[in-house]
Structure 1
Amino acid sequence: MLIVSAALFVMVKDIWWGPAIRVATDEIATMRPLSWSSGSGRLDVRGGSGAVVRDGGP
């Protein structure tokens, strides 16, 4: 059920993404495993800095 809610949240975030939603996305990206956020791609780009650093870092 949590995964479904997260998927719905990602779709809603796509439609209207604001500062508050961006902060919530950062929380989700930090909470979920990197492999899960990696599968979405959007969370990697707009997620927390940790996800971006792990993706493009050495």
Structure 2
Amino acid sequence: MIPTGEPSERGQLIRATIVEYDDKVDECTLHPVAPDDDKRITEWITAQQGSYSSLDAWR
């Protein structure tokens, strides 16, 4: 699905942050760009490298 409309009409933007580790598997965290203070520690999801797949693989 491709979002339409102006950014303010689409809702909150999501950022992917990848953390590379020397001693364990890298991780990718999806989180809001500007979360509300009361939701800052609850609106995110993290996955280790190898545990996620492309959207095309699921279509």
TM-score calculated relative to the size of structure 1:
0.21
**Bigger proportion of residues as helix:** 1
TM-score calculated relative to the size of structure 2:
0.21
Structure having the higher Rg:
2
